[in-house]
Amino acid sequence: MVNFSLDGKVALVTGAAYGIGFAIAQALAEAGAKIAFNCRSVEHLEAAKAEYARLGIPVRGYICDVTKEDEVAHMVADIRENLGVIDILVNNAGIIKRIPMTEMSVDEFRQVIDIDLTAAFIMAKAVIPDMIQKGHGKIINVCSMMSELGRETVSAYAAAKGGLKMLTRNIASEYGEYNIQCNGIGPGYIATPQTAPLREKQADGSRHPFDSFIISKTPAARWGTPEDLMGPAVFLASDASDFVNGHILYVDGGILAYIGKQPK
């Protein structure tokens, strides 16, 4: 029988105060996992804890900057003491800066790389030793279609997400023998607060040009929702994916498979 249950498992989802991370944490909880999450804002932390409570999901929430090794080590130790060894790590925390490359400062570029890529390295490094000792572990990196494609104004984000794809494959290569599976989820264009500016209605009530562009490029003819990522996350976190390693599961409504419509 296929086992999608996460009963008794401990899951840490970074950046899970809202959006994609929140949906993934909710899905893992509904499959039976004990949930820990972090964010960098007390306001977001308290709002998220209240929303989890409203859904009946017990959580441990942390203020933690995932680009800081000492803060990550403290968070992981506290989770180990209070919930148990982390079985499932979801590296979801991330930012995007939509700035033309020649106008982007080096500091802005480095900030995106640090949060979207280096933090995933720091987090994985912190949990892998316990996973090796326990004899199993699941690491899920939230990648992107920008792990495969480029687009104007997202040079840092594309570089980070491309790097995250290869970090995923390398963790799988280096630690697969210890029964650790590291895979990625590559969301397409998902309707979240982060993408809200791209979906704003124009003054005349028409769609934002980028909104129209995405709809035209997506065979599903819609933006994704955070809920679309819940099933894939449970699959990659569960025993059902024990022989899936180093894979990026794109949840994009078919964009990467589609060349687009012929102009009329």
- List active site positions: 157
93: Cα separation from own chain's centroid: 6
Q: Describe the crossing of helices 42-54 and 19-30 by its angle, rounded to 10 degrees.
A: 40
Contact 119, 91 (CB under 8 A): yes
Residue 56 CB contacts under 8 Å (≥ 6 apart), including other chains: none
- Among candidates 26, 167, 188, 29, which has minimal Cα distance to 91? 167
Per DSSP, which regions of the chain are E strands? 10-14, 34-39, 59-63, 88-91, 137-142, 180-187, 248-251
Residue-wise DSSP of 183-214: EEEEE-SB-SGGGGGGGPPPTTSPPPHHHHHH
Q: How many CA atoms lie within 13 A of 250 on its CB side?
A: 17
237: Cα separation from own chain's centroid: 13
Per DSSP, which regions of 64-179 are E strands? 88-91, 137-142
